[in-house]
A and B are shown apart, each in its own frame.
Chain A
Amino acid sequence: EAGVAQSPRYKIIEKRQSVAFWCNPISGHATLYWYQQILGQGPKLLIQFQNNGVVDDSQLPKDRFSAERLKGVDSTLKIQPAKLEDSAVYLCASSLTDLQGTNTEAFFGQGTRLTVV
């Protein structure tokens, strides 16, 4: 079974530039998550999608971050403009929703390491 695919693996940009990350979840997984993991910290949930709808974006800095999952499959996360403190690994994860509507454990992609200079 193919895992969660993310690209690019690494990205270096200057502050105030824009960047976009792409995620393709495991086939059939209705729930997709974007996490930000700053060095030395645990992953922090930025946004959670159920199919193509947003169910939680309470920790997404909406003045500069945006995400979409237009057809309920692939997703993109964008930062515009980037700040130095956005340097982190951005992890995408997906999970199944069982018959009771409960999400199972999440499977993570390899992440994108973003460095803002």
Chain B
Amino acid sequence: EDKVVQSPLSLVVHEGDTVTLNCSYEVTNFRSLLWYKQEKKAPTFLFMLTSSGIEKKSGRLSSILDKKELFSILNITATQTGDSAVYLCAVEKAGGYQKVTFGIGTKLQVIP
């Protein structure tokens, strides 16, 4: 059975701190790993990672994938209160259809 495990489950930091969120996975026919930010109901797309060792960056957020060790990290530098959200990791399978399995998420709270 496909599995996506995120850690920590929750995190409280002060504004300006740097955080690292972890995602490990077990899936057959891996195609990609995705990160989403969920503030209220709708997850919003952050990154799609398909290749090992290539960092993707968007402003203060960055992410990297290790396909050998089967994990990814999401880094947020100089955190702001607007970064408070649940961060979801998902893995996508290749094949006849692309099934996506989500992790439970990491709840990040950034306090002033």
**Number of residues in B with C-beta < 8 Å to the partner?**
24
Contacts of B111 in A (CB 8 A): none
Binds B, one of A13-21, A40-48, A62-70, A75-83: A40-48
A8 to chain B, nearest CB (A): 13
B97 touches A55 (CB 8 A): yes
- Interface residues of A: mostly helix, strand, loop or mixed? strand
8 A Cβ contacts from A27-83 to B: 33, 35, 40-45, 48, 50, 55-56
A60 to B88, CA, bound (A): 22
Cβ-defined contact, A107 with B45, below 8 A: yes
Once the chains bind, are B45 and A89 in contact (CB under 8 Å)? no
Residue of B nearest to A109 (CB): B42
Q: Is A105 an interface residue (CB 8 A)?
A: yes
Shortest CB distance A11–B (Å):
13
Q: B4, A42: Cβ atoms under 8 Å?
A: yes
Which residue from B45, B102, B104 sits with its C-beta under 8 Å from A40? B104
Whether B100 and A111, one on each chain, are in contact in the complex, defined by CB atoms closer than 8 angstroms, is no
28 A–B contacts from the bound complex (CB under 8 Å): A33-B100, A41-B104, A42-B4, A42-B88, A42-B90, A42-B102, A42-B103, A43-B88, A43-B102, A44-B102, A45-B100, A48-B97, A48-B99, A55-B96, A56-B97, A89-B41, A91-B41, A91-B42, A102-B31, A102-B98, A103-B92, A103-B98, A104-B48, A105-B48, A106-B100, A108-B36, A111-B41, A111-B42
Chain B residues in contact with chain A, CB under 8 A?
4, 31, 34, 36, 40-45, 48, 88, 90, 92, 96-105
